[in-house]
Amino acid sequence: MNSHSLALYLWIAPHVLLFALLIGLVGKRKVLRFPVFFSYVLFETLQFCVLFVMVQMEAVSVSAYVNTDLVGRAISTAFHFGVIQELFEWPLALYPGLRRSLSRVLNSASLLLVLLAAAVISLVYLNELPKANVPAYVIEQVLDVAQCGLLVAVFVWYSFLHVRMPNQVLGISVGLGLIVGVEPLLYALRYQIASESVTPNIISAGIYHVAVLVWILFTLIPDERVVTHRAQPLPDVGAWNAELGRFSQL
Amino acid sequence: MTAIIVLTLLALAFLLFLGLQIRRRYRATPEGERVVPPLVDIEAFRNLTDPREEEFLRLSLSRREFRRIQRLRLRAATQYVAALSQAIGCLVQLGQDARLDPNPRVAASGEEILQRALRLKVLCLVTQWKLNVAVFCPTLLSPSGGLADRYLHVTALAESLPGRIAA
């Protein structure tokens, strides 16, 4: 398989799999469980269809294709933030008030993380880039690093709440993490070292393929119905307090 | 080139983190590693967060002395909330286990315990933030004792579960 065929496969196959994932989500009635993620998958599939048709049509100019791709990427990034917010809010699904408060905190945290990521990336590119004109890929790198920070916070959040992460939440987080975790490095390779090489694009598409497989796999795995962690005997709380009371009387 | 090296290290660290999270999720919890809920003296916590107690101290002590004592009380209350948060974590686990029970009544109770405990967990977080701020201005902010009552309510719900779930 030459690099052109491989690139074509890696462009088409993940989107065919995304369509299968859409069917799986509808079939398993998980659409309403994660509506933003479902919308994101739907958008990615539709975006691929549009771009694929554009490539086939000779009348479409390269700049029209590039612009459409750019708009699509911007919307995808916005969806990423939405999906991460959905993952954060999932344990508090039954408390709209708490969810609203949490979403306000999350918006501030996201902004803070974007600023922090911008600081990190500017340190990384210290003296390597012109200061007056920041390339678009650097902005994408900043947003990707901020998303990595938010995904770490998702895991910390579930750990703090002591909530067992459902398979789908874990799958979405890991899949998204694979995409946004490696992309900043690939941007740097693409634009700084190997601008003519297709290798970074192939690696990027390969990682996207793996991410889609992770989403499918974790959507299909049912959450365990077996109690794997038996909690401590909490009813002893009354006894502890009685004992402490006895100590205080001594 | 520095950018490539730093970004490679960042990507590797992040991928390693994701791998560890998957491993952690599917690793069976050994008996010895179970989370042991800490002892929480609810009455002492109530006393620390009692507004009447605070008012009494405010009237009885000089302003400077009150600030000093109130800071100590707030620091102690922060420790109590941290312990309470850990104990509520065990309630979350209990709720999660109970809601998987084949008995629909137990499962419903488990769901209620889980939801209430999650709400309490968030409340603990907010209370800890407030207490940490209050340490800097002890005369302006007072801790709330409502957390203890809510905790006892969820504990009572947990106590009402059949023994085979709670034990």
| pTM of the predicted structure, to 2 decimals | 0.80
Q: Closest partner residue to B7 among A161, A165, A188, by Cβ? A: A188
Note the pLDDT of residue A240: 57
CA-to-CA distance for A167 and A222, rounded, in angstroms?
A: 7
φ and ψ at residue A226, rounded to 5 degrees: -100, 140
pLDDT of residue A68: 92
Q: Does residue A83 contact residue A37 with C-beta atoms inside 8 Å?
A: yes
Whether the predicted interface score ipTM is above 0.95: no
Per-residue pLDDT, A226: 42
B144 touches chain A (CB under 8 A): no
Res A171: pLDDT: 94
Q: Which residues from B are below 8 Å from A241, CB to CB?
A: 40-43
Residues of A in contact with B33 (CB under 8 A): none
Mean of all residue pLDDT scores within chain B? 81
Mutate to test the interface with B, among A159, A213, A232 (most CBs of B within 10 A): A232
B106–chain A nearest CA distance, Å: 13
Q: Classify residue B81 by burial, with Cβ atoms within 10 Å: 0-12, 13-18, 19+.
A: buried
**What is the pLDDT confidence band of residue B110, given thresholds at 50, 70 and 90?**
confident
Q: Residues B111-127: what's their mean pLDDT?
A: 86
Provide the pLDDT for residue A76. 94
The residue ranges of chain A whose pLDDT is under 50 are 226-235
A:24-43 residues touching chain B, CB 8 A cutoff: none
Helix, coil or strand: residue A77: helix
Instruction: Give me the mean pLDDT over the B46-60 stretch.
Output: 83
What span, in angstroms and rounded, lies between the C-alpha atoms of B115 and B113?
6
Own/partner pairs, B162-166, CB within 8 angstroms, 24+ separation: B162/B103, B162/B106, B165/B94, B165/B97, B165/B98, B165/B101, B165/B106, B165/B110, B166/A231, B166/A233, B166/A234, B166/A235, B166/B94
Domains of chain A: 3-223 (1.20.1070)
| B14-33 pLDDT per residue, tens | 999 999 999 988 876 655 45
Higher pLDDT, A63 or B101: A63
pLDDT attached to residue A205:
93
Mutate to test the interface with B, among A156, A204, A234, A246 (most CBs of B within 10 A): A234
What distance in Å separates residue A188's CA from the closest CA in chain B?
6
Residue A42 has a pLDDT of 95
Name which of A214, A216, A196, A217 is nearest A206 in CA terms.
A214
| B87/A245 CB distance under 8 A | no
Q: Residue B81 above 60 pLDDT? A: yes
Judge: B166–A235 Cβ closer than 8 Å, yes or no.
yes
